Chains A and B, each alone.
Chain A
Amino acid sequence: MTRRVLVLATVHAAIAAALLDGSATSFRLVEVLAFAAAFALAGLAPLQVEVGRHAVTVTLTEAVLVVACYRLDPASAVAAAVVGEAVACLTHRQGLLKVTFNLSAVAGATALALSLFQVVATGQGPSSPVTWGAVALAVTVYALANHSSTSAVLSVVEGRPVRSVFAGALAPAMLATAVSLSIGVVGELLFAIDPVAPLLLSPIVGAAMLAVRRVATQQSEHLRFTRLYESSRRSARLQGFDAGLAALAEESRSLVAGTAAVCAAPGPDGGWRAMVVDGSGAHAAEPAAVDALLALAGDRGPRELKGPDLPFTVSRLAPSASALVLATAAAGPDDAADHAGALLAVYREIESDSSGNERAAVLAAFAAHAGLVAANARLLEEVEEALRHQVDLNRQKEEFVAVVSHELRTPLTVMLGALSTMRRFGNDLDAARIEKLSVMAENHGLRLKRLIEDLLLAGSIEQTSRTVECEGVDAIAFVDEVVTDMAPGIAAPLHAVPAAGSGAGPGCLADTTRLRQIVSNLIENAAKYGAGSPIEVAVSRAGAEHVHIAVIDHGPGVRPEDRERVFERFVQLDSSATRTVGGTGLGLYVCRKLAESLHGTIALTDTPGGGCTFTLELPAAEPSDERPQVDPLPAVRTAPVMAAIGTE
């Protein structure tokens, strides 16, 4: 942008130089200085008048120019105008780029106006209508040239098209020029009568300007209020947290006329989140930048900082920025930054000047609103998340109830059906049929028993008939026994690794009933969900303190994001499959609880090549001398379940 502004400045200077080249000069220092002083005064007292949506600057420069046309040659006039403008700019503490541009614009416009005047009014008397016409023309051209220059530079700085900037402010600019021109003509007429006469105008003009200035200030305050109100209204819509931050940043950006803006606030998870809005849209700001901005804001009030003073992480968000307007809002009675409800930062490409504090005040007023909006958005997100979680829990519970209902009714149906059949047909039944019915009834009775135990254990009510009796168990021998017992009832190939008979294996400390429950549960799980792949049960030492019993299948496996979820209550990863094979979503939850009661853990990892490996870790111990008593449950338990899979 700097480059483009400099190009414009060069163009103006070139025009001035071209026009002045070859014109006659009668340089009188005192006169030039006097006019320079007049130009400076005119430039020092501009009026910013808001007409509609535009800011119009009315100065008396055109009035001074009228008099200069009559009294000075082009070169002197340009010199006086440039000096006067320089004084005005420096008094306003404007940046170097702005000063350069303003001087060049003034030089160009003045040269143009004066040259034109000279051309038209040559040979005419001072009071001839042609001369007056020439003055009017010159001043109009001056105004138009200035207006074009201002439009050009504004379009570069604010990124708006030239045409709209030019046309938008043309009428007010011309109005201001007409006023200024009239004052100038009256002044010249008085000057012609008596050089002191124009001084009589001064009080009138001064009073008028003060009055207009007061109105203009009121209007500008009203406009500022309106803009704040509009921005607040637009950003108050209830929306998601990030969207809310982005909307607030966008409003801040337009409030303070910046190129990029950041809005940061404490997010739903406690940490600060920020959105950056710039020419390419809205995106999240990286945490380092957010921290840097917060540190920069500290607990000081709103202010405008110069670009070169910004730390790298902050300036990186808008590399071409020359200034940063910063404001925070506190959520509580104390103003410390870590309690602040929101932080707003707007990057501007125009250098910081005397209105910086005003801009910071505007941003601070908006920041209070921003804090509320951010808090609202955060609460909305938290509520939505809680609701989603609740709906999810409810759904899981409903599914659970449906499955449990089915699971309880099925064995009951078989038991009652078998008994009623035996009673109804009594002696007509042959021995084979009686045996079949009896086995059915017993199997399903035991299935019901196990289901109730699982449910109660899952509900954290301890109702097992045996207390936990831990002893040293030979892990390999134990596993071998379980596998031998279960293998006939399992559809998939099942074997133990390493094979027993290789001497006493590593010992683990466990209650054998519970250990049996865990291992057989895991094996059944592998059979249910392993898609018929071979199942291995492997025993190994894990360091000096622990023993691992791993149940390994080579089925479809479980996705990484679900590997912890499977241990939760009521969770069935694929409910249709569960309905097929029967289940409550409690099996693994129960396994884990049992493992914990044995001071162990269960973990799920991927089998290399695909599949699940459930690893039970138990404290190591010396195997006791007697062989552990093993509960003869599983063959009965698995039969109905395996049959459901369809062992052909």
Chain B
Amino acid sequence: MSTIEQPVRRVVVADDEPDIADLLAMSLEMSGYDVRTAYDGEAARELVLQTLPDLVILDWMMPRMDGIEVLTTLRARTQTRDIPVVMLSAKASDNDVWQGWEAGANYYMTKPFDFDGLLRFISYLDGGAVGDHPK
């Protein structure tokens, strides 16, 4: 998995539980990122295809199209193939994690997740350049 050229700036967060999506969005915005949210699979896919963000945070269990399906669709298209995707899910068995990796996820977080971990991953993607956020 290669790091991308430009630092992560624009993020799409998709989760069918609006409070989780909004929470993530708030935290990321406070950390300096530009965030858009979606609340179901189809909306998520459309949003990513339209805005081509630098990072996608994707819930698994969503109505209308689940996270794995969205991920597979994105990986199948050239313009979205290389966008890093973080799977975020309550499904936490080894099998589930493996399925996520297989479908093309770059990272897998189980709920409840550690926000610090997410930030560390994003900074890894940035190749070390960390968006400034107060401790």
Contact = CB atoms under 8 A, between A and B. Distances in A.
Answer yes or no: are A and B bound together in one complex.
yes
Interface of A: 402, 405-406, 409-410, 412-414, 416-418, 420-421, 424-426, 428-429, 433, 436-437, 440, 443-444, 576, 579-580, 640, 643-644, 646
> SS class of chain B's interface: helix, strand, loop or mixed?
loop
A409 B26 contact: no
B27 A421 contact: yes
B112 A412 contact: yes
A417 B18 contact: no
B108 to A, nearest CB: 14
B33 interface: no
A97 to B, nearest CB: 76
Interface in B107-122: 110-113, 115
Contact of A409 (B18, B90, B135): B90
B113 A579 contact: no
A444 B19 contact: yes
B1 interface: no
Interface in B99-135: 110-113, 115, 133-135
5 contacts: A409-B110, A412-B111, A413-B112, A428-B30, A433-B26
Interface in B12-35: 16-20, 22-24, 26-27, 30
B115 A409 contact: no
Contacts of B18: 640, 643-644
A146 B27 CA distance: 107
A410 B90 contact: yes
Contacts of A409: 90, 110-112
A414 B134 CA distance: 21
A409 B111 CA distance: 6
Contacts of A433: 26
A242 B116 CA distance: 65
- Chain B interface extent, by class: 20 to 34
Nearest to A580: B63
Interface in B32-71: 39, 61, 63
Given A417-B112, A644-B16, 12 more contacts: A409-B90, A409-B110, A409-B112, A410-B17, A413-B112, A424-B30, A424-B133, A426-B134, A444-B19, A640-B17, A643-B19, A644-B18
A248 B18 CA distance: 64
B94 to A, nearest CB: 14
B32 to A, nearest CB: 11
Contacts of A644: 16-18
Contacts of B39: 646
A346 B63 CA distance: 62
A579 B24 contact: no
A425 B90 contact: no
Interface of B: 16-20, 22-24, 26-27, 30, 39, 61, 63, 90-92, 110-113, 115, 133-135
Contacts of A416: 112
A275 to B, nearest CB: 47
Contacts of B111: 409-410, 412-413
A425 B23 contact: no
Contacts of A443: 19
B61 A424 contact: no
Contacts of B91: 402, 405-406
Contacts of A580: 16, 63
A107 B112 CA distance: 103
A418 B112 CA distance: 11
A537 B49 CA distance: 45
B112 A421 contact: no
A563 B118 CA distance: 46
Contact of B115 (A424, A426, A436): A424
A588 to B, nearest CB: 22
Contacts of B61: 406, 579
Nearest to B39: A646
Contacts of A406: 61, 90-91
A496 to B, nearest CB: 29
A367 to B, nearest CB: 54
Contact of A417 (B23, B63, B110): B23
Contacts of B27: 417, 421, 424-425
Most A Cβ at <10 Å: residue of B16, B19, B20, B30: B19
A428 B91 CA distance: 33
Contacts of A418: 23
Contacts of A420: 115
Contacts of A576: 63
Nearest to B88: A413
A440 B19 contact: yes
A426 B134 CA distance: 9
Contacts of B90: 405-406, 409-410, 413
Given A424-B27, A576-B63, A414 B115 contact: no
A580 B90 CA distance: 14
B30 to A, nearest CB: 5
Contacts of B23: 414, 417-418, 421, 437, 440
A414 B23 CA distance: 7
Most B Cβ at <10 Å: residue of A402, A420, A433: A420
Given A414-B17, A414-B23, A429 B30 contact: yes
